[in-house]
Structure 1
Amino acid sequence: MSTREPKQERSRATRQRLLESAIDCLADHGWQATTVSVVAEHAGVSRGAAQHHFPTREELITAALEFMTDNRLALVREEAGELPQGPERTEAILVRMVEHYTSPLFKAALQVWTAAAADESLRERIVPLEARFGRAAHRAMVELLGVDDGDRVGHRLVQGTLDMARGLGLADVLTDDSARRTQIVRQWARTLDAALSERAVSAQC
Structure 2
Amino acid sequence: MGDISGGAAGPAVAPGRPGPQQQRSRLTRLRLMEATVECLVERGWAGTTTTVVADRAGVSRGAQLHHFRTRGELVAAAVEHIGRVRADDLRRRAAGLPGGRPGTGAALDLLAELFTGPAFTAALELWVAARTDAALRELVVPLENRLGRETHLLAVELLGADESRPGVREAVQATLDLVRGLALADQLTDDGARRARILRQWAAMLDTALRGPGTGSPR
Check whether TM > 0.5: yes
2:127 aligned partner? 113
Q: Distance in 1 between matches of 2:214 and 2:146?
A: 28
Show CA shifts across 1:135-180 (max 9, x none).
1111111122221112231011100000001001100000111111
The question of whether the paired residues in 1 share the 8 Å contact of 2:79 and 2:123 is answered with yes
Residue from 207, 211, 215 that aligns with 1:193: 207
Residues 84 and 193 of structure 1: CA distance in aligned 2, closer, same or farther (over 3 Å): farther
1:55 aligned partner? 69
- 1:9-24 equivalences under 5 Å are 9-24=23-38
- SS of corresponding position for 1:32: helix
The question of whether the paired residues in 2 share the 8 Å contact of 1:84 and 1:92 is answered with no
Cα deviation, residue 85, structure 1: 5.1
1:127 aligned partner? 141
Amino acid at match of 2:190: D
- SS of corresponding position for 2:124: helix
Residue from 80, 96, 103 that aligns with 1:82: 96
Identity of aligned residues (%): 50
1:150 aligned partner? 164
RMSD: 2.0
Q: With structure 2 as the length reference, what TM-score do the two structures score?
A: 0.85
2:6 aligned partner? none
Amino acid at match of 1:153: G
Q: With structure 1 as the length reference, what TM-score do the two structures score?
A: 0.91
**Pairs aligned (count):** 200
Bigger fraction of residues in helix? 1
2:3 aligned partner? none
Residues 18 and 126 of structure 1: CA distance in aligned 2, closer, same or farther (over 3 Å): same
Q: Does 1:172 align with 2:186?
A: yes
The structure with the larger Rg is 2
